[in-house]
């Protein structure tokens, strides 16, 4: 993110600058990013997509999200936990997703770990790392951190539990996307929506 402040969209509403860079981002910014997400499968999906995004633009992932959902059984943990070596090879050939062996293997391994958890356990673990106090609204994108003590703790907790391919930056992106933190800029139409 650059150090930019709010921009007016075609509808006149003020938005975070990244949220106006493409039509795909406008919809994602306005309806999804920063909204609370609950449920183990829904959070598993976000965790996987954030891992696939590592080193890439989120737009790349967003534009392939339906392909990812189709390839990974709608990110139902129980279904993906049953994937085997033939599925891994199928995924490596799937042009609808990012074909990165390490990320695919982590996605499959993480499902196997999570399949052994109690229902709601992933949700509870992730949400237990939401900041305890409400942070001040950032004024510019330069005020938005890439890592926080909470994201570092979340990454450590997930790794300790056997979850792969998640570091503090990926954990913070997950926290932003799933509404654990609200990093919409002060005055953004989506901040209080």
d(CA 187, CA 166): 31
Catalytic site includes residue 32 = no
- Which residues have a Cβ under 8 Å from the Cβ of 163 and sit 6 or more positions away? 47, 110, 113, 114
Catalytic site includes residue 58 = yes
In DSSP notation, 136-183 reads PPPSSGGGS-S--HHHHHHHHHHHHTT--S--HHHHHHHHHHTTSS--
Among residues 18, 28, 44, 172, which one is catalytic?
28
Among residues 32, 58, 105, 117, which one is catalytic?
58
Picking from 150, 149, 134, 113, the residue whose alpha carbon sits closest to that of residue 183 is 134
Catalytic site includes residue 28 = yes
Residue in this structure with the two tokens 């996307």, named with its chain if needed: 177
Among residues 25, 50, 127, 172, which one is catalytic?
50
- The residues that are catalytic are 28, 50, 58
């Amino acid at each position: 993110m650059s150090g930019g402040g709010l921009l007016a969209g075609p509808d006149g509403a003020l938005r975070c600058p990244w949220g106006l860079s493409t039509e795909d981002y406008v919809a994602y910014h306005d309806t999804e990013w920063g909204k609370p997400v609950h449920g183990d499968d829904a959070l598993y999906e976000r965790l996987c997509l954030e891992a696939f995004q590592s080193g890439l633009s989120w737009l790349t992932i967003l534009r392939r999200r339906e392909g990812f959902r189709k390839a990974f059984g709608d990110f139902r943990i129980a279904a993906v936990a049953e994937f085997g070596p033939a599925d891994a090879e199928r995924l490596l050939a799937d042009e609808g997703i990012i074909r990165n062996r390490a990320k695919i293997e982590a996605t499959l391994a993480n499902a196997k770990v999570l399949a052994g958890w109690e229902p709601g356990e992933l949700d509870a673990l992730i949400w237990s790392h939401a900041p305890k106090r409400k942070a001040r609204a950032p004024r510019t994108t330069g005020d938005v951190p890439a890592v926080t003590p909470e994201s570092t703790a979340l990454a450590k907790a997930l790794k300790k539990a056997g979850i792969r391919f998640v570091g503090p930056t990926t954990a913070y992106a997950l926290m932003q996307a799933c509404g654990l933190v609200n990093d919409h800029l002060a005055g953004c139409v989506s901040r209080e929506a």
